Amino acid sequence: MTRFFSRTPQFVLTGGLALIFLFPLVWATLASVAPQAGTRQTDGWGFGNYVTLAHYQAGIAQYLGNSLAISLMTVLFTLLASVTGGYAFAIFRFPGRDALFLLVLAILMVPYATLLIPLYVLLNSLGLQNSLVGLALVLSMFQLPFATFMMRISFEAVPAELREAALIDGCGSFRALQRVLIPAAKPGLITVGLFAFLAAWNDFITPLVLISDTGKLPLPLAVANLRGQVMGIVDYGATEAGVVVLALPCIVLFLALQRHYVRGFMSGALKG
């Protein structure tokens, strides 16, 4: 009992913070099913706002598919580049390694909105402007500094003896990466993948600049467009329904992967 009461302030503080962070989501969920004037759900509680969202322009299935495709491609591109880059920075010694790594991290100091116009011109010259692949490549580029840093410290946290044993057994550098280091650095991989997915899923400015075809819009842009109705009237009910649909995959993914997510950060913290 003494131990319980000694930790009561901690429980109160963490419980209060949890309520503060959960309140907007709970409020949005209730608002999406509550009766509101000027929405499809004007009488009683129900899912009329979700029906409006489902049938908006190309349909919510199309926008969800676009967001899912963009997010998964971003995760794939980010993992491929950050794993190989992090492996090179962590294992190999070459002239200018630390300076090059600092240069990669320095990209974090550049506001990414300032890069969108040059990237728009570049993608247009490559024939990738207004395409989901081009958008995923740009989003992956924005994730690479953090992802490379995360994978470097994850690989450095793996005991060197494991890689040396694999090399002695006849594995090459790539095979040692594939068979030994990647499984050992699984928490770091999941952390990088989760960050890349959440960033791509919720990004608004990048697709706003790079995507012009309404059939290729991700869900955040579709929800934003849904807000503007005839004569400037905002459909708050359908907007809140869109917010809930946007938030659910993020919540499910985080709850499913939170153990690996925390382990990934802890391994890097312990190494540092």
In this predicted model, what pLDDT tens digit does every residue of 184-203 receive, in sequence order?
888 888 889 999 999 999 99
Tell whether the model's pLDDT for residue 162 goes beyond 90: no
Tokens 């503007």, located at residue: 228
Per-position b or e across 211-221, b if 16+ CB within 10 A of its CB: beeeebbbbbb
pLDDT at res. 270: 47
The answer to whether 52 and 229 are in contact (CB under 8 A) is: no
Say which residue, 92 or 11, is predicted with more confidence: 92
pTM for the whole structure = 0.85
Q: How confident is the model at residue 263 (pLDDT cuts 50, 70, 90)?
A: low
Residue 269 has pLDDT above 60, yes or no: no
Distance CA 191, CA 265 (A): 8
Q: Please give the pLDDT value at position 75.
A: 95
pLDDT at 169 over 50: yes
Which residues fall within 8 angstroms of residue 255, CB to CB, at 6 or more apart? none
Contact 203, 223 (CB under 8 A): no
Q: Which CATH superfamily is domain 56-271 in?
A: MetI-like (1.10.3720.10)
Considering only residues 248 and 264, tell me which one the structure prediction assigns the higher pLDDT: 248
101 pLDDT more than 80: yes
| Cα distances (angstroms) measured from residue 207 to each of 4, 131, 195 | 50, 10, 18
Take residue 162 and report the two structure tokens written for it: 């494991």
pLDDT, tens digit, 9 for 90 and up, residues 44-88: 788 888 888 888 888 888 999 999 999 999 999 999 999 999 998
The DSSP 8-state label assigned to residue 235 in this structure reads -
At residue 77, the pLDDT reads 95
What's the pLDDT band for 272 if we cut at 50, 70, 90?
Answer: very low
For the chain, the structural domain boundaries read: 56-271
